[in-house]
Amino acid sequence: MIDCLFAYGTLRAPELLQSVIGRRIEGNPAVLEGYICRQVRHADYPAITQRTGSSTQGSVYWGIDAPAWRRLDAFESNLYERSVVEISHADAASAMAYTYVIADAYKNRLTDEVWVLEHFRLSHLNRYLSQFPS
């Protein structure tokens, strides 16, 4: 089983990832080639979809176990499908990782807007964190 998560959106906020999986975990910068990241319509989070010539910046997190995957799957909902992708990161040329790709049924919800992590942090992160018990 792959124990690596490529996060490109809200889960790049370490405090949110910790709240979702129940433990602190460190991430490293990574890139996913062949995918574009865009804002989801009427939402404060992004999604990715395949697009030749595009790339998505994100973070890679190692050591994700089965209980953490279950919690991540529940957090991401049916809007996304967990998919295996090949990422590039500083520690190696490439690695296989799971990431959450928008499901085909919801691709029409993607906008042309670029999603910005810092805007999410300032405007929405506290609301997300309040959903999890301390």
User: Is the entire prediction scored with pTM above 0.85?
Assistant: yes
| High-pLDDT (> 70) share of the chain, % | 98
| pLDDT class of 92 with cuts at 50, 70, 90 | low
pLDDT of residue 90: 73
On the CB side of 53, CA atoms within 13 Å amount to: 0
| pLDDT class of 100 with cuts at 50, 70, 90 | very high
| Phi, psi of 59, rounded to the nearest 5 degrees | -130, 145
Inter-residue contact 74 to 28 (CB < 8 Å): no
Quickly list H helices, the chain: 14-21, 66-76, 117-123, 125-129
